[in-house]
Structure 1
């Protein structure tokens, strides 16, 4: 009888012996979803019932949550764009003063 660590080859990947069913795909699925598919399904079902009951008690619907998230994201984007618009205005207002002063200072610096 082989010990589990004897089945690993160089590089750490699992190698099945002839006649042994491949298990790497099943293990990858279990690692990805966080356990056996049945157990994960039952946990998700239980949590879905709890969250659904809580939402029903609060009078919330999935549509309301979606539109609230959409409106919040839209407001953040609009705020960010308004900030860039204001920042651009500050740059232009400062450039109206700074660039001519810089130009005049360069004219006087070259006349020496």
Structure 2
């Protein structure tokens, strides 16, 4: 029962999955070697990408806040004036 559950989770028998993964790992290893790629360089590149994305995200939030403040300097006083004018009409 547990073996069938494991096979269903893996998509095939555990032995076949291991053989497929070993073969695929070998092929990818050969390709990476031919392209002169190092796994640690890939990890470093991924970490660098995430750091840049993180920094850009906070920079974008700061820019958004700046635009929001700039617009509010105009919109809020206009809104207050319009509300005061509308209160005068109702009375």
Give the 5 Å matches for 1:1-112.
24-112=1-89
- TM-score under structure 1 length normalisation: 0.73
Q: Which has the higher helix share?
A: 2
- TM-score under structure 2 length normalisation: 0.88
Specify every segment of 5 or more residues in structure 2 that has no aligned partner in the other structure, as ranges: none
Offset at 1:28? 0.7
Give, in whole Å, the separation in 2 of the partners of 1:44 and 1:70. Answer: 26
Higher relative contact order (CA 8 A, sep 6+): 2
State the aligned residue count: 89
Cα RMSD for the two superposed structures: 1.2
Choose 1 or 2 for highest CA Rg. 1
Offset at 1:97? 0.5
Give, in whole Å, the separation in 1 of the partners of 2:42 and 2:11. Answer: 27
Specify every segment of 5 or more residues in structure 1 that has no aligned partner in the other structure, as ranges: 1-23
